[in-house]
């Protein structure tokens, strides 16, 4: 299949059927050559935003995330990456401008450290979140300030070694849903309740009352990488989630070559297992 972006071949299985979600797992540490290529596809607004970052590392990650997002969307829309027109919701959620999006693609982006996720679907609003699991200094305080009474109680009873994973389950699962609706985390963190105890399947338990029906939504953990928690919320009951990675490498004469991988479910856990064995 021809690639409109001109830097690689699109795999034939990139067709996004009803009920399917593609989750792209991206590294935000591009080579210098690739960085230039990605910066070149940003819109003037994105370029101005990139220029405002104080630290180079943050600027590079922003350029990589937005540039790769444009390349990914270009594959589905059959446009050049720089032709992708983004519009923004009242709380800043980027979406595709309707006139170029006749097939109803929805997407969402999240990043943490040097890793980003992009979820793409045609089956309803979608939100993703990813966080590196660490020990936040103010974890107990954050839980008490922002979460629901039932969650606070359950969290406080956990043994200390389970708290970081529980905290990031809680955070990423709620945020994924709040990003799917586009509202963000400013108002309703304590009005969305989710399962979060280590080992519990991701599940939405309570949504703000004005939302039509909890049944139309589903929540899923994402296999991202060791030490990362990831979650996806979508307005679709039983989506089929598949993972994808787009590998870029510098070719001769400053060109960029690409290859695609469709990653089977559980890929990341298998990788973690292999790393443990090797260690």
Ligand X SMILES: CC(C)(COP(=O)(O)OP(=O)(O)OC[C@H]1O[C@@H](n2cnc3c(N)ncnc32)[C@H](O)[C@@H]1OP(=O)(O)O)[C@@H](O)C(=O)NCCC(=O)NCCS
Size of the site for ligand X (CB under 6 A): 18
CB of 57 to ligand X, least distance (A): 14
Label the pairing between strands 204-206 and 218-222: unpaired
Of 16 and 42, which has the nearer Cβ to ligand X? 42
Of 33 and 185, which has the nearer Cβ to ligand X? 185
Contact map string, positions 209 to 248, toward ligand X, x by CB under 6 A: ----------------------------------------
Residues 123-142 contacting ligand X, CB under 6 A: 127, 129
The single residue among 42, 75, 109, 222 that binds ligand X, judged by CB under 6 A, is 109
CB of 129 to ligand X, least distance (A): 5
CB of 109 to ligand X, least distance (A): 4
- The strand pairing partners of 262, in sequence order, are 244
CB of 110 to ligand X, least distance (A): 4
Of 34 and 126, which has the nearer Cβ to ligand X? 126
Q: Does 36 bind ligand X (CB under 6 A)?
A: no
CB of 2 to ligand X, least distance (A): 28
**Phi and psi at residue 39, in whole multiples of 5°?**
-60, -35
CB of 279 to ligand X, least distance (A): 29
Residues 254-273 contacting ligand X, CB under 6 A: none
The single residue among 110, 219, 225, 232 that binds ligand X, judged by CB under 6 A, is 110
Beta-carbon contacts of 166 under 8 Å, excluding residues fewer than 6 positions away, are: 155, 158, 196, 197, 198
Residues 150-189 contacting ligand X, CB under 6 A: 175, 179, 182, 184-186
Residues 67-106 contacting ligand X, CB under 6 A: 91-94
Dihedral sign for Cα atoms in the order 218, 221, 223, 224:
positive
| Residue at shortest CB range from ligand X | 184
CB of 64 to ligand X, least distance (A): 10
User: Which of the stretches 109-117, 239-247, 257-265, 268-276 binds ligand X when contact is defined by CB under 6 A?
Assistant: 109-117
The single residue among 5, 25, 101, 108 that binds ligand X, judged by CB under 6 A, is 108
Write the DSSP string, the chain: ---TTSSS---GGG---TTEEEEEEEES---HHHHHHHHTTS-HHHHHHHHH-SSHHHHHHHHHHHHHHHHHHHHHHTS-GGG--EEE-TT--EEE-GGG-TT--EEEEEEETTEEEEEEESSS-EEEEEEE----TTHHHHHHHHS-HHHHHHHHHS-GGGHHHHHHHHHHHHHHHHHHHT--SSS-GGG-EE--STTPPP-EEE--TTSS-GGG-EEEEE---TTEEEEEEESSSS-EEEEEEEEEEE-GGG-EEEEEEEEPTTHHHHHHHHHHHH-
CB of 13 to ligand X, least distance (A): 25
Residue 5 CA to residue 71 CA, distance in Å, equals 7
What residues make contact with ligand X under the rule CB under 6 A? 65-66, 91-94, 108-111, 127, 129, 175, 179, 182, 184-186
């Amino acid at each position: 299949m021809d690639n409109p972006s001109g830097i690689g071949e699109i795999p034939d299985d990139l067709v996004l059927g009803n009920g399917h979600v593609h989750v792209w797992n991206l590294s935000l540490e591009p080579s210098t050559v690739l960085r230039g290529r990605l910066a070149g596809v940003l819109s003037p607004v994105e370029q101005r935003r990139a220029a405002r970052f104080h630290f180079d590392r943050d600027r590079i990650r922003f350029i990589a995330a937005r540039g790769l997002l444009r390349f990914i969307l270009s594959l589905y829309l059959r446009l050049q990456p720089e032709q992708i027109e983004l519009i923004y919701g009242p709380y800043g959620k980027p979406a595709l401008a309707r006139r170029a999006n006749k097939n109803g693609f929805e997407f969402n982006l999240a990043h943490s450290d040097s890793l980003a996720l992009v979820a793409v679907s045609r089956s309803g609003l979608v939100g993703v979140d990813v966080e590196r699991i660490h020990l936040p200094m103010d974890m107990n305080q954050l839980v008490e300030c922002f979460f629901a009474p039932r969650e606070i109680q359950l969290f406080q009873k956990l043994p200390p070694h389970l708290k970081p994973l529980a905290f990031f389950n809680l955070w990423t699962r709620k945020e994924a849903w709040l990003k799917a609706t586009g509202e963000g985390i400013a108002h309703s963190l304590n009005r969305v309740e989710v399962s979060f105890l280590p080992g519990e399947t991701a599940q939405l338990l309570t949504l703000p009352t004005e939302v039509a029906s909890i049944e139309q939504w589903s929540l899923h953990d994402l296999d991202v990488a060791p030490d990362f928690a990831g979650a996806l919320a979508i307005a679709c009951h039983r989506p089929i989630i598949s993972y994808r990675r787009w590998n870029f490498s510098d070719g001769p004469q400053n060109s960029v070559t690409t290859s695609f991988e469709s990653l089977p479910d559980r890929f990341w856990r298998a990788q973690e297992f292999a790393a443990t064995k090797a260690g």
